[in-house]
Structure 1
């Protein structure tokens, strides 16, 4: 019997750049024109802010395991990659807060930004409590979350559930770190909501543009190649 032919498409830098260009021009960025628009956007987007932590925690467990007794990874792992994923977790879980000398997670910061503009945090809070009590799959099936957010988060956990670190690394590098700066810049450029109306939201976006573009995106590709 002849060998099976691999029909998977080849992904090149040009392929990635083409998808990024399409994302950068997505009409949703220009749709955030009023405070009510922003509330709607944030009620959807908060789930991707939250599930990002599960992506990076999965990768941290793969390249910088925390078991006891501690053992070095079974295979060769670049120490730069280990440091990157540990720093990424540190920033996402305990980043510098607006008040000097204080720290907060990006999820907590985003929830505060939602409250600042009057976006309802009840559904996502209830979702997280369902995750805590019954697990992610039950929460995705039963919680009252927007359908697009449900589909997005389901995909995230389907990727995590493969148990393949390289697929999780691809989701992080190509699905998050390399597209977030352009996406957030587009929102800031086109939104009708200024920093005076949503200071925490603007601060959150600008912080991610800086971190992801200057540090996370280049290192995430190194992680993907590890």
Structure 2
């Protein structure tokens, strides 16, 4: 899961980014509204955490800009402001959730996972593909009921695929959503990772669609 964190308090931003990274997320952090408006409109993210009180454009203006640009990523507003008028302005601009400071860093991670799951149309946090099961809230895979041992990068790739089960996703899509924006892995790196995931699964869940990308589908459908 790739997240854009917009927070002008650098100490708080570092703590939240560390907590989200420890939860297996890729986090890009910006500290002012003007950069946030640009980055959120030009890069692909699974979700965003957005502070309201920012230098440059304020958070509501940033969010309104994203929505006007057609960006539909789930947005969790994170702010010290607890007034109803601030909440109303945030939701009117297109916010999906609102969390008032102080807060538990773990709650930010949980809310982001729920927002992403709902945005993808999954009503349950448990996603299933044949013998493979993924608990989206806990970010945990099991295979035939037993824990599946994956590296952090393998887990991010497999989570992206199972959340889009039966859909072909391109190499670029996978790279954009599982790597930070300052990293640009080559095609061979992704092939190696997909190969390792396939060996750990031991069943033909991940199909290669030549010239298009990869598709995770039920074993019976192969």
TM-score of the superposed pair, with normalisation by structure 2: 0.29
TM-score of the superposed pair, with normalisation by structure 1: 0.29
Q: By percentage of residues, which structure has more helix?
A: 1
